[in-house]
Amino acid sequence: MTIASLERTSIIKRRLETHEARIGVVGMGYVGLPLALLFSEERFCVTGFDIDSRKVETLNQNGSYIVRIPPAEIAAARQKGFNATTDYGQIASMDVVIICVPTPLNEHHEPDLSFITGTVASIAPHLREGQLIILESTTYPGTTEEIVVPLLEKANPSGLRVSWDGEAPGFYVAFSPEREDPGNDVVARRDIPKVVGGCGAAALDLASAVYGTIFNHTVVVSSPKAAEMTKLLENIYRCVNIALVNELKQLCMRMGIDLFEVIEAAKTKPFGFQAFYPGPGLGGHCIPIDPFYLSWKAKEFDFHTRFIELAGQVNMEMPYFIVENVAEALSQRYKSLCGSRILILGMSYKRDIDDLRESPSLTIIELLQKRGAKVEYNDPFFPNVGQGRKYALNMASTPLSKIPEFDCVVVVTDHSQYNFKDIVAQAQLVVDTRNATRDIKAANIVRC
């Protein structure tokens, strides 16, 4: 960078060093809220932006809507100046604006960037010179440079442009993929290395400085595209390996082999193997979605990601496999799936979290209902499940005391609060998709 660019970036850097920099985080969900709280812990003045007025009101009243974030943590942040708002006009007073909004798939399994484009459109009118805009939302390589940058430049009334070289007055843009792992209490958020790619050296330098205030290690890459691809690789790696064990589970069931026993034996190898476990399907915002983002973008380059798409297909078919096993287990007891009462244990996509995004439970319930089953659920994290992007359940959690009334209990999410020995003792039939009953020997258990 030249002397001119160094002078421009040093202004924000000084404000970061003195903790005077104002940080704006757009999207107060599972990614944005924890990030905002990290900055608040370092006594930065943080403003959370969200279009959901209920979330904003909850936060400003010291409340929380995410189980793993207690209200006390929100209250502590509020005392340090954290506040939430639906007013995007306040973007103008921010030094750094970090975008953490959803990037789902549409009904055709194509990228839906409407949350990103809508957010950028809301930010652009309030841009000012010297601001740093960072996108954290998981997306395909090229989104930052091909979508975000042009929209910011086109929609801001001042005619500001991205300062790629740091010399021309303008604003800075970078991409840094979120690496949230809900329910992980082993690795502290600060200890997760932060990958950063900037639109030019000045943006990269600034973004690294911003994240360096709250993360113990930053990893710089050559471009936003490289950072975007890094996140996709991380999640596609998991998707492919989970698809492998999901397919092996189906084969092992036919062969009379316990795949979980095999995995535990393979884990003893001190090199060349990492354990992945089968389940009822993928959930969460990233792993079920990321392969489709990359396969969609790959078509632009006349490239067919056959291996990745196959993994996605295998994982998507797991709920259908589970339902067929439930039907077969009932048939072995001279009962039809149609008309049977089924209790789903666990609605969230993984253990001990309150996150329904892409949860296989939703698909399993839908498939069971289509087959004529009378379905209810129990989940300690969801007293009620209403309507979402891909579901309209409007159901309340059924007490575990009613287990004997059901023809079948299906373990979809193995929350630690469940006492599976008691559940098995009360149930007529248990279909276990998580190996949660591995230490229990009973004739009413079917593992799949």
Question: What is the Cα–Cα distance from 104 to 285, expressed in whole angstroms?
Answer: 7
Residue of 358, 342, 392 lying closest to 282 (CA atoms) = 358
pLDDT at 7 over 70: no
218 C-beta neighbours (distance < 10 Å), count? 17
pLDDT at 2 over 60: no
Residues carrying CATH 3.40.50.720, the chain: 3-222, 243-447
The third-level CATH classification (topology) of the domain covering 3-222 is Rossmann fold (3.40.50)
83 beta partners: 47
Q: What is residue 289's predicted lDDT score, i.e. its pLDDT?
A: 84
- Residue 211 amino acid letter: Y
* E strand intervals along 126-208: 132-135, 172-175, 194-198
Kindly report, residue by residue over 421-430, the tens digit of the pLDDT: 999 999 999 9
The share of the chain scoring above pLDDT 70, in percent, equals 97
Q: What is residue 105's predicted lDDT score, i.e. its pLDDT?
A: 84
Q: What is residue 187's predicted lDDT score, i.e. its pLDDT?
A: 86
Average pLDDT for 182-186: 80
Q: What does 15-64 look like in DSSP terms, one character per residue?
A: HHHTT--EEEEE--STTHHHHHHHHHHTT-EEEEE-S-HHHHHHHHTT--
Kindly report, residue by residue over 219-228, the tens digit of the pLDDT: 999 999 999 9
Question: What is the Cα–Cα distance from 363 to 393, expressed in whole angstroms?
Answer: 11
More confident residue, 394 or 400: 400
pLDDT at 443 over 80: yes
Catalytic residues: 286
Q: What is residue 182's predicted lDDT score, i.e. its pLDDT?
A: 78
Instruction: Write the CA distances from 387 to 286, 288, 366, integer angstroms.
Output: 21, 20, 13
Sorting pLDDT into bands at 50, 70 and 90, what band is 247? very high
Residue with tokens 């599972």: 30
Kindly report, residue by residue over 262-289, the tens digit of the pLDDT: 999 999 999 999 999 999 998 877 777 8
The third-level CATH classification (topology) of the domain covering 243-447 is Rossmann fold (3.40.50)
Is 92 within 8 Å of 158 (Cβ atoms)? no
Question: What is the Cα–Cα distance from 138 to 235, expressed in whole angstroms?
Answer: 10
Average pLDDT for 302-325: 94
Average pLDDT for 184-209: 93
Q: What is the pTM of this model?
A: 0.91
Sorting pLDDT into bands at 50, 70 and 90, what band is 390? confident
Cα 172-118-20 angle, rounded to 5 deg = 40
Helix pair angle (290-298, 224-255), 10° resolution:
120
Q: What is residue 367's predicted lDDT score, i.e. its pLDDT?
A: 96
pLDDT at 166 over 80: no
Q: For 434, list phi and psi in degrees, rounded to 5.
A: -120, 5
